[in-house]
């Protein structure tokens, strides 16, 4: 009598990560849903951030992670002017506050700095490693060390300005820190600033419109199998 061998599902799943959730909560959720142990990703998001996460199910697809990690990304970001935090985002401790209200002209002029090739210093609250140690681990110990600037590419567009909220769209290369853009904007405007919200709208060829909401996956209200993207569905 022939033995039936069941194959675990493999493919690419684009998920819209929920706020206040870790990226690895998605990996854990998909392991439970699919039974697939080998699940990778093409770039994480901070817990407060939302939007596109590319999840890779199965060994054939996890091998693609490095390829997708190097894809450019696109974000819709909200910068809160007047409040500077130690982590450059809304999860950090407030370091300073300022009531200066920049003009729209000031903002438009400074945004010209965030175009093309830009040298950016990685923030202390990041997963980047220096001498084998993650920067955020040192930051949590109250340590600040020298970081070498990294050359990144970006295209920054003003979406709206209603003080203290400044909304921007950023298209950028791998390794760009949107929180650093927010912090640097605040420094250049003389107000201080931090990143108050962030949504990844694109990762390489994958867009938010293709994404399955994490909340619907958690509530079992959507078929994740029907949303899997296979090799044959990928276009150059």
Question: What pairing do the DSSP bridges indicate for beta strands 50-57 and 193-203?
Answer: parallel
How far, CA to CA in Å, does 203 sit from each of 94, 186, 195?
Answer: 31, 27, 20
Query: Positive or negative, the Cα torsion across 16, 21, 27, 29?
Result: negative
CA distance 172 to 231: 26
CA distance 101 to 203: 34
Asked if 212 and 226 count as a contact pair (C-beta separation under 8 A), the reply is: no
The helix/strand/coil state of 34 is helix
Active site residue 46: yes
How far, CA to CA in Å, does 156 sit from each of 4, 134, 146, 153, 193?
Answer: 54, 28, 27, 10, 17
Q: What are phi and psi of 77, to 5 degrees?
A: -130, 145
Choosing from 46, 89, 91, 162, which is the catalytic residue? 46
Active site (catalytic) residues: 46
């Amino acid at each position: 009598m022939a033995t039936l061998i069941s194959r675990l599902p493999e493919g690419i799943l684009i998920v819209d990560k929920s706020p206040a959730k870790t990226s690895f909560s998605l990996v854990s959720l998909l392991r439970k849903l699919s039974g697939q142990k080998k699940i990778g990703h093409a770039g994480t998001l901070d817990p407060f951030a939302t939007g596109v996460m590319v999840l890779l199910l199965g060994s054939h697809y996890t091998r693609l992670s490095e390829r997708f990690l190097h894809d450019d990304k696109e974000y819709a970001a909200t910068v809160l002017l007047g409040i500077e935090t130690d982590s450059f985002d809304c999860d950090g401790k407030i370091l300073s506050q300022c009531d200066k209200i920049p003009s729209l002209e000031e903002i438009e002029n400074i945004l010209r700095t965030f175009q093309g090739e830009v040298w950016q210093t990685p923030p202390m609250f990041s997963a980047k490693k220096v001498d084998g140690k993650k920067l955020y681990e040192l930051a949590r110990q109250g340590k600040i060390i020298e970081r070498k600037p990294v050359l990144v590419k970006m295209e920054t567009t003003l979406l709206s300005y209603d003080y203290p909220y400044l909304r921007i769209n950023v298209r950028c290369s791998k390794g760009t820190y949107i929180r650093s853009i927010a912090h640097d904007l605040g420094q250049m405007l003389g107000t201080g600033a931090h990143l108050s919200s962030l949504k990844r709208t694109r990762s390489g060829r994958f867009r938010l419109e293709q994404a399955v909401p994490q909340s619907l996956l958690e509530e079992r209200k959507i078929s994740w199998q029907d949303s899997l993207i296979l090799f044959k569905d990928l276009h150059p």
